[in-house]
Each structure stands twice: as C-alpha cells, then as structure tokens.
Amino acid sequence: MKLNPGIKSWLLVTLVVAFVSACTTTQEELSAGGDGAPVLDESQSGSSAIADGSSGSDGAEATGLDGADGGDGTAIVDYGAMTAMEQLNRTDGELADRTIYFEYDSAKLTSESIAILETHGNFIAGNGEVKVRLEGHGDERGSREYNIALGDRRAQSVRRVLLFQGASSDQVETVSYGEEKPMEMGHDDAAWSKNRRVELIYTVN
C-alpha cells in the first residue's frame, strides 16, 4: 500500500521527535548517575581529579597519601607545593632516611630497605631535576679490591630498585669506596655493621 506524501511527512516528523526525546532522556540519566549524583565526564576525571588524592582507581597514579588510594600500587610521594629541595631538607619526612645497610659479605636488600627505596624511587621519578649518587661501602675485613667490588654490588642492588620505581638511568649513578670511607672507626661488630652500607647523595639542578 502506498502512503500519500502528507502522511509520509507526518510519520517522519514523529519519528525524529521520538528519537531526539529518547537521546535527551538517556543523556540526563548518564549525567545524573544511578543515584542522582553528578558523574564526572572525561575532562573532569583526569589529572585535576586525581591531583588531590580523591579520585583514580589505580594507586600508582595517586599523588596523595591519604591512606585510601583505591589500589595496591605504591603511591608517589607528594608534599603539595613544596619544591624537591624543600622535600629533601625535611628532617621528619619519608626521604630523611638515606642510608641502606647490609649484612656481612652481602649485597642483598632487606624488605625494610626495599620499602625505603621505593619511596625514594617514586620521588626521583616524579622530579626530573633530581639526581642521586649511590655510594657503596664495606667494612674493613677482606682485601681492598674485594671490598670495592662488594661496595659496587651493593650500590647496583639499590640502583635496580630505584629504576624499577620509575627513576631514569640518567638520574642515578653509582660509585664504590669499599672500606676507604668508614662511618665508624671501630674494629668490632657494632662499627662494621654501620660501615656495610649504601648512601644516597642527592643533587637538585
């Protein structure tokens, strides 16, 4: 059956009006969310929403340490508007611990040391103007050559963790002093335990 032109035009207008009405209703529902609360669009849920630690599903992207980063990643250290130098100058901050100790004749990191280095690695990764020199040391036992090599292995262990956390290889350098620069001058276990170490020496460009 053929429809006359007048009826066809009326049907077309009716379909267009129904389609526009349906789209408007769907958009309003999406904007309001399921419970009537406004939903952030893509431009609102980006960096500005994550910057205050209140949004973002991945803890590795969070910049605030409010204890609820929404994920199981390590949060990047954020001290607000503080410069990198100001953060490093804090004596009560998480970056204040810059000496990593080792067991006798070992370059293996403890879980406590790894946790400290993860914080430093995140800080370095988030501040391109920061560089760190890893100074490896050993106690006085063993030959000079052996202790130089052991100090280097210890520095390399620390370096691997920092790079894994996102620090650039250009930001991290290593050097070994072996037994030549002891922290303690004694000749007993108490002194030796302090001398088996890697120190993180920072510079800010």
Residue 130 forms part of a structural domain: yes
pLDDT at residue 81, as a whole number: 76
Q: Is residue 12 part of a domain?
A: no
Q: Is residue 173 part of a domain?
A: yes
- Among 127, 120, 197, 191, which Cα is nearest to 160's? 120
Residue 136, domain CATH: 3.30.1330.60
pLDDT value at position 142?
A: 94
DSSP one-letter string for 134-160 = EEEE--SSS-HHHHHHHHHHHHHHHHH
Does residue 46 belong to any structural domain of this protein?
Answer: no
**Does residue 132 fall inside a structural domain?**
yes
Model confidence over 56-110: pLDDT tens digits?
333 333 223 233 333 444 545 555 578 999 999 999 889 999 999 999 999 999 9
pTM comes to 0.62
The C-alpha atoms of residue 169 and residue 129 are separated, in whole angstroms, by: 13
Burial of 4 (0-12, 13-18, 19+ CB in 10 A): exposed
Residue 133 lies in a domain: yes
Which domain range does residue 181 map to?
Answer: 81-205
Say how many domains are in the chain: 1
C-alpha 24/C-alpha 176 separation (Å) is: 68
Q: Classify strands 172-178 and 197-204 as parallel, antiparallel or unpaired.
A: unpaired
